[in-house]
Amino acid sequence: MTFLLRPVTRADLPAFHTVMMAAGMDARSSWSRTTVADLERSLFGVGAGGLLAWAGAEAVGCVGYRPDGSHTLTLNKLATSPSTRGQGLGAALVQAVEAVATERGVDRVLLAVSQFNLEVIPFYERLGYVQDSAAVYAHASPNSPAPVVLVKGVPQGVV
């Protein structure tokens, strides 16, 4: 299957939300309570953005990012439709965020994995992310258990 990745627009927010909700996150996670309005605040803040992956006219994957200081880009809201899993879409979305980080001259990409979604950690580790207990996820929900933080340095000067 061929996927088209493109920047998310405000008109895409309902599709982005649909992909997130279809991903099947544990209901205890703050992810499951994310609204379209929450997405707008997260994806359209200063320096923030996101990508949607399309298979024809259907949105099948999404990812967001936002700055966390001058040296870190935080990757968040990575989701793929269950029907597209195992086809490299998740990795392509992560790599697209890493390319944004490189373009911006940011040193690393950071992400947080919910305590309710720990089974995804090996996916990120295969992509070169390492757990970093000293790293702080600035956008953690105070009403959720502390997430597992993973980081990856990104190359500079090469896009």
Q: Phi and psi (nearest 5°) for 90? A: -60, -45
Radius of gyration of the chain (CA): 15
pLDDT one-digit tens code per residue, 73-110: 999 999 999 999 899 999 999 999 999 999 999 999 99
What's the CA gap between 66 and 124, in Å, rounded? 18
CA–CA gap between residue 136 and residue 132 (Å, rounded): 9
Question: What is the DSSP code (8-state) at residue 82?
Answer: G
Distance of CA 30 to the CA centre of its chain: 14
pTM (two decimals): 0.91
Could you tell me if 94 and 120 are in contact, meaning their C-beta atoms sit under 8 angstroms apart? no
Type and span of the H or E element at 102: helix 89-104
- How far is 40 from 23, CA to CA, in rounded Å? 19
pLDDT digits (tens, 9 = 90+) for 98-157: 999 999 999 999 999 988 888 899 999 999 999 988 787 766 677 777 888 899 999 876
Domain architecture of the chain: domains with CATH: 4-153 (3.40.630.30)
pLDDT at 4 over 80: yes
| 137 contacts 150 by C-beta, under 8 angstroms | no
